[in-house]
Structure 1
Amino acid sequence: MRDFDEPVRAAGPGVVVDGPAGAPTVLVIDPAGEAVHDGIPATWRPLTDTVRVVWLRVPAAPTWQSTVDKVLAAHRDDESPVRLDVVCSGPIAADVVDLVRRHEHLVNSVLLVDPETEIAAPFGKVIARTHPSADDRVPAPMPLGHPDVVNAVIERVRQ
């Protein structure tokens, strides 16, 4: 399991947003704290032409659970709510599913990457897993900026 306690991960913004307002939204809750340079990771940028990406960097947002609640509540208060999918990984997957349960009617799906525990929720879908092997260079959980994750998210959002 990767170590997410690097001090550099806590630097930078807690939330990064890109994409058109009013478009389908993907809320990425990232325990690794990618997007440290005030922008969405490069692999996600092509998606922001048609989808709004809200990237929550957990190491830089110590009260990330309340931030998720605020984002979901704001989505509920939109005059015409749009599709909302949530992406998360590894050690926080179960916590995110618990948070989403309180707003289940607003969320289309929770897309999981390498969850540490099995998730029993009808809206939870595992979209990527690392397969530990001698030639696997990516330790679990797979980074949310990984092209396999982005491609799986694109596939789900277009359904």
Structure 2
Amino acid sequence: MREFDEPSRTSGPGVVADGPAGAPTVLVIDPAGEAPHNEIPATWRNLTDRLRIVWLRVPAAPTWQSTVDKVLTMHRDDVKPVLDVVTSGPIAADVLDLVRRHEDLVRSVLLVDPEVEVHDEFARVVVRSSDSPDDRIPPPLPLGHPDVVFGVVEELDRLG
């Protein structure tokens, strides 16, 4: 498992967002801390014409759990919120626990290489990489990786 404690990942904004307000929202809770330059990763940008992408960079947001609660609570008064959460690896269990407190707001939790077994009805594993010597990127796959974006989009389309 990769380590995400590089100093460069802890600098920059804790949260970045792009896409139209009021659109279906994808909250990406990133343990690796991509998007350090106040923009979501390039692989996600073409989705912002139809989705609101909110990217929470865990290394730059030490109180990330309260930030997740705040972001989810902001949707409490939406008429019909469409909110999906994406996360990976080492924080999957914590994110699932947080979402359980907001199950009425969150349509799905989409997981990449979770380190836990997934039993919640609202949670789905969208990408699982192997930890084989042939793999160029060890798990968890970065959330900005094209395979992750493809898996997320495929699942969002299936959810309708």
The answer to whether TM tops 0.5 is yes
Contact 1:88–1:96 (8 Å) recurs in 2: yes
Secondary structure of the corresponding residue to residue 47 of structure 2: helix
1:125 & 1:110 partners in 2: Cα distance? 6
Give the match for residue 74 of structure 2. 74
Q: What fraction of aligned residue pairs are identical, expressed as a percent?
A: 72
TM-score, normalised relative to structure 1 = 0.97
Secondary structure of the corresponding residue to residue 152 of structure 1: helix
Q: 1:32-43 counterparts in 2 under 5 A? A: 32-43=32-43
Instruction: Return structure 1 stretches of 4+ with deviation > 2 angstroms.
Output: none
2:17 & 2:5 partners in 1: Cα distance? 23
- Tell me which protein shows more helix as a share of its residues: 1
Matched, 1:119 2:103: no
Contact 1:75–1:81 (8 Å) recurs in 2: no
Alpha-carbon deviations, 1:47-85, whole Å to 9, x = none? 11100000000000000000000011111123x233100
What are the ranges of 5 or more consecutive residues in structure 2 without an aligned counterpart? none
2:137 & 2:82 partners in 1: Cα distance? 31
Q: 1:1-159 counterparts in 2 under 5 A? A: 1-78=1-78, 80-159=79-158
Give the RMSD, CA atoms, in angstroms.
Answer: 0.8
What are the ranges of 5 or more consecutive residues in structure 1 without an aligned counterpart? none
2:155 & 2:118 partners in 1: Cα distance? 18
2:24 & 2:156 partners in 1: Cα distance? 8
TM-score, normalised relative to structure 2 = 0.96
Q: Between Structure 1 and Structure 2, how many residues are aligned?
A: 158
